[in-house]
Amino acid sequence: MDRADSKAEAERHETEPERDDRNLIEILQEARVVQTGVQILFGFLLAATFEPKFSTLSSFQKAVYLGTLVSAAATLVMLTAPTAWHRILFRQGDKEYLVQIANRFMLVGLTTMGLTSIGVVMLLSDIAFPSWLTALVTTAATLACAVLWYLLPLTRRRRLGRGSPLSDPNRLDPVLPD
């Protein structure tokens, strides 16, 4: 445990198991928040195939649709996995590992959620607007996800001197101290 961890633990007056409990609760809560939006989006994607205009989509649009649908499904799987692991490993005394693996699932789930969001923007803008505008808004969505979800927090993490979010399982949040 480094100095920042010791200071945070002293300020919180929590033991290692208490910290694991708190971290798991935070991860599961974050998953609930993100999962709701993805479930709604996934439902709309499923319903879109039953619309009469779906058959008029171009091959490109259908490919983007399929990629977006698969990405949305992967997001749901990744964001639900921590809950499944928690239920299966309940009272097995392995919470520290559960927190580590849940963090990894969340990071992958956020990546697939970004791909889902970008795919939806690309598909809908390609259906409704000219190609140049589709390229512009898709690029903007890609940059927004990349910069706000990864580049800025990873830059902050590097400045704090804490390395990769996957390299040190005790540092779960790339921005805030645990």
Question: What's the whole-number mean pLDDT along residues 118-132?
Answer: 96
**With 90 as the cut, is the pLDDT of residue 15 above it?**
no
Query: Of the ranges 6-10, 18-22, 122-126, 138-142, which one carries the lowest mean pLDDT score?
Result: 6-10
Helix, strand, or coil (residue 111): helix
Query: Of the ranges 1-5, 98-102, 106-110, which one carries the lowest mean pLDDT score?
Result: 1-5
Count of CB atoms situated within 10 Å of the CB of 7: 12
Residue 96's pLDDT band (cuts 50, 70, 90): confident
CB of 35 closer than 8 Å to CB of 79: yes
Task: Give the rounded percent of residues in the chain with a pLDDT score beyond 90.
Answer: 44
SS (H, E, C) 142-160: HHHHHHHHHHHHHHHHHHH
User: Measured between alpha carbons, how far is 8 from 5 in angstroms, rounded to an integer?
Assistant: 5
Residue among 144, 73, 150 nearest 113 (CA): 73
Residue 134's pLDDT band (cuts 50, 70, 90): very high
Span 58-82, pLDDT tens digits: 999 999 999 999 999 999 999 989 8
